[in-house]
Amino acid sequence: MSPAPVIIAIDGRSGAGKTTLAVELAARLRAHHKVSLFHLEDIYPGWNGLLAGIDRYVTTVLEPLSRGDAATWTSWDWERHYDGDSRVTLPAEIVIVEGVGAAAAAARPLLSAVVWADSPDDIRRSRALERDGGTYEPYWDQWAAQEEEWLGGDDVPQHADVRVLNRADGSAPTDVLQLLPYVPALAPVLSPELSARRGLGMHAERLDARPDAATLFNALYGTSANAAWLDSSNAGAPAVSFPKARHAAPAREDQAESAAAERSRFSIMADDGGLLGQKLSHRSGVNSIQAGCASATMEGPFFRWLDTVWGDASVSTPNGYPGEFTLGWLGCLGYELKRETGGTDYSAPTPDAALIFASRAVVLDHAEGTAWLLALDAPDGQDWLDKARTAVEEAAGHEARVGHATQAGGSTGVVLSQAARFVSRDTGAAYREKIAAAQYEIAGGNTYEVCLTTTLSARIPAAALDPWQTYLALRRKNPAPFASYLRFGSLAVASTSPERFLKIASDGGMRAEPIKGTRGRSSSPAEDTALRTDLATSLKDRAENIMIVDLLRNDLSHFAVPGSVTVSRLCAIESYATVHQMVSTIDAQLQRGSSRAEAVAACFPAGSMTGAPKISTMAILDRLEGGSRGLYSGAIGYFSLNGATDLAVAIRTLVINGGGDGTVDLTLGVGGAITADSVQDEEYEEIRTKAFGVLSTLGAEFPDA
């Protein structure tokens, strides 16, 4: 008797490529494991024997193997149409069983994982007849009818851990093997496969070129279904200077400029293409992952899943490469992930998390004027490097010909064939009433500060708006250090966020940079300077900012080296194209051995978007706001293979969500911090100011009704 094996069933209709898939997987898994393989076609008792064969398989093969015993079973002689000889299947560390019915209801309690293989009908028939010749052809319809009858009462695909659309192009084994280590029951035994993937080498190539970023992204990823551009769109923008007040400290001004330059140095662009590319979508406690033609669905918290795929440094930073991103996961986290960090459970119309795994990417270093091509070692890596090198050179030539300002955004507005008329979740009167309700909670000692938000939304024909052109106009009108353009199928995210949520460097350095305090810009230099000075000297805004600084000091301290939490900037003023902002910087050092995913979770969602104290205030917000926030006030950024992460707060962010019915929903979240000293009219004017950059780009107005 041996230890109970891990048993993987590969099921699917005839001709779906189950046998080839099973043989290929067994061959690859044998690099690290002892693998046993069983084919159900050897046990079916004839062309009418599907259900009887399933019963034989479960009782004489699966049950003993699941106990770690050898299975002795009677084969079927397809030439004599009678029972054949007695055979033995030995247990092993991993047992793969394949065939129609391998994951039938009676079998599933004994299985560790189920793979469902499918193919288009024409491919299935031709593949089956090619494999078995003319012996199968007279019985195809008869056998197919049995399959349909069985599946009518046993919906195996709905119980599959991994599903694969096997198009007979040879990609299925690689794609399935990428996802199997994510299945919880397989994770321990398949840790060598996951480690081997994490241990891949990385090619890094420096190009001395300043490509036009928009041209380059469109050339490489314009047709990609899933792509991400973390775009420091204010890199190279002319610096804004202001007369210093007589009491101003030059060191503080220099520090603010240095911080802004650091946040704007790199832009990253990638998609989920290539042999190693993946996409994750998380909704309400369910993780859905896609790798090429294979997909997997697993229940469980998002941050727990993140901890399994990110945190330990698996790629070293290349010599001479100045960035922190060394390939990995890019995308966005929605506010409703708060259900995992002390908040209540709300559902949203958009995913709670959407990420792509980039096995190759382009990183633009705006400070040095270089482009870096990064690619994991994979058979298709060199072809991509050649393509990317050419695209960088052509985009650099385009930049030289037309100039940055024209290509990087063109018009500062979007002309819609049908004007987007936004409606607000709250009327002006209703929002003011909620401000009063928040102040009542503050007076009662239930909270100190409430970040009260609302949502503006519009539905327009899909043909009326191009998400890509919309983002280009937004980045031109309102450049920002954490601007980003994300595309996940019919979902697009166009963000011009100025705020960093959390950075964890590869060496464990942590940084949060909350924004609290906003003033609109003026075209009059004198008035603009006055607005900036008003923000800098506002006691109310300083109080809001300092309360969030205290909250984030606490969040960071959960995983920080004791005594390492410091505030290096307090209430500094930074200016952007449409607003002045009050920004603080909190630094800390991550404790060695701490989970980086848990450290992110401890800070999520951003305290600047909840208020303080965080958990009790989130409960108050749930009652006051009366709806989900979706991606707004979540986070956008990356989780790198060297253990680094850099995440922005998802503010100033337009979400474009295709409904599949020829329309798209546009949503824009806006909000502000409410304290005991808040004036209702001033707070309402602040959310109008924050919405202006996006709405004016769309030619839309703030809905006052």
Q: Which residues are catalytic?
A: 499, 516
Shortest CA distance to 375 belongs to which of 331, 315, 327?
327
Shortest CA distance to 270 belongs to which of 421, 372, 187, 163?
372
Instruction: Kindly give, in sequence order, each residue whose CB lies less than 8 Å from that of residue 37, ignoring residues fewer than 6 positions away.
Output: 22, 23, 26, 95, 96, 97, 98
d(CA 592, CA 596): 10
d(CA 441, CA 631): 26
Placement of tokens 């106990």 in the chain: 67
Q: Where are the alpha helices (DSSP H) in 403-466?
A: 404-407, 428-443
**How many Cβ atoms from other residues are within 10 Å of residue 682's Cβ?**
11
Cα distances from 264 to residues 21, 60, 269, 312, 694, in angstroms, run: 46, 64, 14, 26, 20
Length of the chain: 705
| CA angle at 310 for the pair 309 and 314, rounded to the nearest 5° | 100
Q: Contacts for 66-69 with beta carbons within 8 Å, 24 or more apart? A: 66/4, 66/5, 66/7, 66/110, 67/1, 67/4, 68/1, 68/2, 68/3, 68/4, 68/5, 69/1, 69/2
Ramachandran class of 253: left when φ > 0, alpha when ψ lies in -120 to 50, beta otherwise: alpha
d(CA 462, CA 516): 35
Beta strands in 94-137 (DSSP E): 94-98, 113-118
CA 206 to chain centre: 27
The three-state secondary structure class of 612 is strand
Report residue 63 as tokens.
Answer: 């049950």
Handedness of CA 226, 264, 503, 284 (dihedral sign): negative
Placement of tokens 């942590």 in the chain: 510
d(CA 651, CA 670): 8
CA 242 to chain centre: 39
Shortest CA distance to 637 belongs to which of 609, 600, 666?
600
d(CA 88, CA 65): 11
Report residue 614 as tokens.
Answer: 């965080």
User: What are residue 319's phi and psi, to 5 degrees?
Assistant: -60, 130
515: β partners: 583
294: β partners: 164, 291
Q: SS3 sequence, 530-560?
A: HHHHHHHCCHHHHHHHHHHHHHHHHHHHCCE
Instruction: Report, in angstroms and rounded to the nearest whole number, the Rg of the chain calculated over CA atoms.
Output: 29
Ramachandran class of 336: left when φ > 0, alpha when ψ lies in -120 to 50, beta otherwise: alpha
